[in-house]
Amino acid sequence: MWTCYLFALFLAVAGFAIYDIFHRRVPNKALVCFLVAAALVTVIRIYFILEYSQPYLVWYVLLESMLGAVLGFAIPLAAAMVTGGSGIGGGDIKFCGVLGLVYGPSGMALIFLVAAGLAMPAILMLRRLFRDTLPVTIPFVPFLACGCFVATLAQLF
């Protein structure tokens, strides 16, 4: 059941990535629906803990989800503030906060590492192709989706 749920969440992330490629935005209404689905991850994990493990671990799951959401929101927000709003968009910031609920702080660290590692060469390639010194904007959610894929595999195996 857990594998199917993570796969369904990853398909939703892939849908956001495709939408971001074509429209260069993350829709708020869809993000609210995804927030509900992401919050269910915490509820499902608590259910499994109460069913098969010690009840005192419930606080750990809640803390991990909330800390992941806060860090998932705060790190891109800090990046946007440093770049003056030209580095990462508001939809990406909110999307990272919701992802933090699912993956927690360690998963978000992995997602950010993979996303940044893939986005940097793409930016450098675009600058090289267009020989432009102006800031290049790219949709960032597809790179976050690649990070989510790696984080989902890390959770499952």
pLDDT tens digits, the chain, 157 residues: what are they?
Answer: 778 888 999 999 999 999 999 999 999 999 999 999 999 988 988 888 888 878 888 899 999 999 999 999 999 999 999 988 777 889 999 999 999 999 999 999 999 999 999 999 998 888 888 776 666 788 999 999 999 999 999 988 8
Q: Which one, of 24, 68, 26, lies nearest residue 45 by Cα? A: 68
pLDDT of residue 55: 80
* Structural domain span for residue 92: 2-156
Q: Are 12 and 33 in contact (CB under 8 A)?
A: no
pLDDT of residue 33: 94
Buried b or exposed e, range 4-17, using 16+ CB within 10 angstroms: eebeebbebbbebb
Within 8 A by CB and 6+ apart from 13, the residues are 99, 141, 144, 145, 148
Quote the number of domains for the chain: 1
pLDDT of residue 157: 86
